[in-house]
Amino acid sequence: MNSRLLSLDVLRGMTIAGMIVVNNGAGGTCFTPLEHAEWNGLTPCDLVFPFFLFMVGVSIAFALGKYSPASEDELAKQPALRKIMLRTLKMFLIGVLLNASGQLLKGIPLYETLATLRIWGILQRIALCYCLASLLTLWVQPRHFWKIIISLLVLYGIVLQLGNGYVKGEENIICLIDRALFGQAHLYTKSPIDPEGLLGVIPSVAHTLIGVIVGFRIKEKDELPRRLTRLFTLATLLALSGYLLSFGLPLNKRIWSPSYVLVTCGMATALLSTLIVFIDMNQRKAWTPPFQWFGMNAIVLFVASVLLAQVIKVWHLPTLLFDTYSCCGFSPEWASLAYALTFLGVLTLLAYVLYRNKIFIKL
């Protein structure tokens, strides 16, 4: 198997492509699988972000696995530490700028934009999880990771139970903490609970660390079939334990519940293992290039998709295209999907141009 895992790029690309589709429907209606669960529950749409965060962890294992946590040579880790901190800062700031760009493109003055600027978002969550998981990988022995993961999930589960964490309202501790620290004006406006708020970083770091563990399992010096057997076993245990836990702590993406962490990490591990079998082991990869294009520039293409979506909204193109598809006989759901796939096609062209010209941008 190659040192660079093609299946990881493909799964990352599949995830980004899925994220673009589910984030860019038009007309206000779409098929149920392309919508997030309203509160408790799990839809295919709810797998996109956790799969990507899981793969951030796998990538950390490949990038930082050469550093020994037990090493006393701290100078050798300084370049990696600087890179981690710089990348964290860049992703977080870009995420904040994306939040501001929609209002600025509409001509809203900067001072008004700053007064209601949302602090949290997808890139901000990724940045913090990447940073904390990377630091743990540099300085903590991997054998201690499960203790950290379990401790984080248990702690978060207790906080949810004691703090009305499953209440979809302003009395939820997630809402209370975010409002106390950042103010309502700087939070998610579509519900009282900010789905990428501060408290959710706790289970999300555990989520990323599971990805790191899977990455180390893939890198083990053993025959590939044995490694895959262990990965499929781990996937089953994670998904099963998460399902059982959901009877007390239901699956919930918006609060990133402990059961949601375990189930989605189990599913991601199983899918990645399956892709390794087909792509890296059996070389069945004729269908993979488009996803590889996305996977090699995943975060840049996500940023581009957000900016493009905001620009064309100013020009009212989503409504125009949706109405055009509707006039062609499409139902509202199919018209929404057709628009999302058109949008994905534009980003696929950009992904191909970047890949063809060997432009790989790492934030």
Tens of pLDDT, residue by residue, the chain (363 residues): 445 679 999 999 999 999 999 888 765 677 888 888 889 999 999 999 999 999 999 999 998 877 767 665 677 788 889 999 999 999 999 999 999 998 888 888 888 889 889 999 999 999 999 999 999 999 999 899 999 999 999 999 999 999 999 999 999 999 999 999 999 889 988 889 999 999 999 999 999 999 999 999 998 888 888 999 999 999 999 999 999 999 999 999 999 999 999 999 999 999 999 999 999 888 888 999 999 999 999 999 999 999 999 988 888 888 888 888 888 888 888 888 998 999 999 999 999 999 999 999 887
Rounded distance, CA 209 to CA 57, Å? 6
Judge whether 125 and 200 are in contact, CB under 8 Å: yes
Rounded distance, CA 209 to CA 137, Å? 9
Candidates 264, 270, 228; CA nearest to 243 is: 264
| CA pseudo-torsion sign 120, 123, 125, 129 | negative
**Confidence at residue 72, expressed as pLDDT on a 0 to 100 scale:** 58
71 — phi, psi (to 5°)? -65, 140
Q: What is the DSSP letter of 287?
A: T
Judge whether 196 and 125 are in contact, CB under 8 Å: yes
Output the six-digit token pair for 23.
């984030």
Q: What would you measure as the largest C-alpha separation in the chain, in angstroms?
A: 68
Rounded distance, CA 136 to CA 195, Å? 24
164: left (phi over 0), alpha (psi -120 to 50) or beta: left
Count of H-run helices and E-run strands, the chain: 14, 0
Output the six-digit token pair for 40.
């408790």
- The CA-atom distances, in angstroms, between 309 and each of 13, 147, 195 are 19, 42, 21
**Confidence at residue 73, expressed as pLDDT on a 0 to 100 scale:** 64
How big is the chain by its Cα radius of gyration, in Å?
A: 21
